[in-house]
Structure formats: C-alpha cells, structure tokens
Amino acid sequence: MSHPALQIEALSVTLPTARGIVHAVRNVNLAIAAGEMLALVGESGCGKSVTAQAIMGLLPDSARTHAHTALFNKQPLLTGKYQKNIAMIFQNPMATFNPVLTIGYQIAEPLRLLHGYSRKDAEHETVRLLERMQIADARQKSLRYAHEFSGGMLQRAAIAMALACKPELLIADEPTTALDVSTQAEVMALLTELRVEKNLSMLFITHDLGLVSHHADRIAVMYAGEIIETASTSSVLDNPAHPYTRALLAALPIRHSNARLAALEGSPPDLRFPPPACAFAERCAKAMPICIQQSPPVVEQHHAARCWLHNTGHTHE
C-alpha cells in the first residue's frame, strides 16, 4: 500500500457501563488506501461497530477513546468534531431514516447544510443520486416516506444519503444483514460500482466472510476487541493464519461436502476483564503454554496474524 488514506494506530475504546468498564476496542491498527475496501469481520460484540463509531465520532460522551495515530487524509480524527468527509450506512435502513420526513428531504439535508446547495439545486441532486441508485421514478419517490419503501430500496436511498455528504470514506456497518439474498447482491454490486467510480475508500463491517470474499480487497478479522489477522482477501480465505479465522471458515458449509460443520465451542471473553495474553487461547485447539502467559506479538507483514503459532513471522504453510 502506497499511502493509506485512513491511518489508525493503537486505537483503544473503553465504555463505562453499570456493571463495569468494557474494553471494547483494544490496540487496533487500521489502514485503508484511497479506493480500497477493507472488510472488518468478526462476531457480535467483538468491537467492530464500536471501532466504526469511534472513527465517525458517534460514541457517547462517556466513552474514552485513545489512539496513537488517527488520521484521515492527513486530518486528525477523534477530535469530537463531525467528520465531513466520512459517511456511514447502517444495518437497519428503516431506523436510518426519520419516519416523519420525506426521503428526498433527508437526502437533500447534507447537500444544503454541508455543501451549501440551494433548495432547488439540492432537489435536482437528490433526484440524480436516487437515479444513480437505480431507483425508478426517482422524482416521485423522493417525495415518499420511509415506510413506503421496501428494505432494499430504503438501503439504496440510505447509500444515496451517505453519498450526498460527498464522502471520501464510506463506513458500511452490516448494510446487508437485514436484506434478502437477492437484494443483498444488488446492494453489494452497487457499492462496488460506486467505489470504483468515485475512488471511495470503504470500511465494510460484517460477520459474513462469504459476502466479502467477492468484494473486499483486504480483510481484517477482529476478536475480543483486537484485530487478530489482516491480509488480502484471497490470502485470508485461502491461507487463514490465525486459528480463529480458520474456525470461522470451517463453520461455513462447503460445496459438495457433507462433512460436519466445525462449530466453535465456548464464547468470547468478557471484555470487562480482557485476558492479559491471547484472547482466543481459551477456545483455541492449538493453544500452547505461552498463549495464556504472554500476548502474542503483532508481525506487520503482508499477512499479519496475532498468534504465537506464527511467531517466526512466516505465516504461510
């Protein structure tokens, strides 16, 4: 990677709750180049959404965020200010829109407030954006309300709203989880098109390794608040280095195979008391004595894995 647009080093987020302080994100490094799509993959509760919200500045005031470096296009992040050049789409498109305002009004809002469009220009741009999202009869549709849209159409309108911010980085937080398989394919195709067209950087959050295999350039796998493996998509899928990534892949049904699915037993650690060493050691079939004593080193390479098995730094078998 030449020069990453998004550069985050040693990001940590703690969230105070009634039952103790949760160490939701621990020492996370992320880098995304212009026009690149990085998929952040992990189970629920592993900290992927909190990472995204930290970048966006959407965390509650009580959250403590700390990072060694946090830059986007050389502008500092985590300043508590609104990030003009970053936009986000969310899992549930129904909750993304205000139910009492028209879709068109809400898409035009960032155009008028952030980019100083007149009401008329904003209207034109809104219709154009909706058309770009392959929404038929866009002018009429822009006067409709969220409940009159189907899930897939609404998610496309949400992408239009995100694009109205004219972002350079688009964060997509499980944007297709609530959609059908066929609609999911449409939304993914659209996102990929837009990424190429506008040279958008994308941080794509999901728990579905299958979904990102066709679309992402690189994959970062997150577990218990840490990124445990980062590499190009093909490298992660073909040669997963971390036992957790292997377990995730083994849990997927494979074509022409009736072999029993390898379910991962146990549950992730309680992040109020994060384990001092490897967080996965407890569930890992290959755990060694050192795994519960010392945190594994992060080897920054083409294929980085945070695991004692790869201490030599050589990750491919």
Partner 1 sequence: MRPVVGCTIRGTHMNKLLRIEKLVKHFGHGKKAVTVLNHVDLDIHAGEIVGLAGESGSGKSTLARCIAGLHSYDSGAVYFQDALLPKKFSAVDFCQQAKKLQMIFQDPLSSLNPRLTIGDILLEPLRLNSDLSAEMQEQLAIQWLQRMSLKSSDLSRYPHSFSGGQLQRIGIARALIRQPQLLICDEPISALDVSVQAQIINLLKDLRDELGLTLLFIGHDLAMMRYLCDRVAVMHQGEIVEQGCTTDVLEHPQHAYTRKLVNSSPIFL
Nearer to partner 1, 169 or 222 (CB): 222
Closest CA to 33 of 168, 235, 215, 206: 168
- To partner 1, the closest distance from the beta carbon of 263 in angstroms equals 4
- To partner 1, the closest distance from the beta carbon of 289 in angstroms equals 25
Nearer to partner 1, 9 or 186 (CB): 186
Nearer to partner 1, 68 or 286 (CB): 286
Contact in structure between 176 and 188 (CB atoms under 8 Å): yes
Contact in structure between 89 and 136 (CB atoms under 8 Å): no
**Residues in touch with partner 1 (CB under 8 A):** 43-44, 151, 180-186, 207-211, 213-214, 247-248, 250-255, 258, 260-265, 267
Residues in the chain: 317
Q: If residue 62 lies in a helix (H) or strand (E), which one and from where to where?
A: none
- To partner 1, the closest distance from the beta carbon of 36 in angstroms equals 20
- To partner 1, the closest distance from the beta carbon of 271 in angstroms equals 14
- To partner 1, the closest distance from the beta carbon of 186 in angstroms equals 8
Nearer to partner 1, 72 or 223 (CB): 223
Nearer to partner 1, 83 or 235 (CB): 235
Indicate the DSSP class of residue 206: E
Q: What is the 3-state secondary structure (H, E, C) of 91-153?
A: CCHHHHCCCCCCHHHHHHHHHHHHHCCCHHHHHHHHHHHHHHCCCCCHHHHCCCCHHHCCHHH
Q: At what angle do helices 119-132 and 103-115 cross, to 10 degrees?
A: 120
Nearer to partner 1, 150 or 311 (CB): 150
Q: What is the torsional sign of CA 49, 51, 56, 61?
A: positive
Cα atoms found within 13 Å of the Cα of residue 282, Cβ hemisphere only:
13
- To partner 1, the closest distance from the beta carbon of 140 in angstroms equals 22
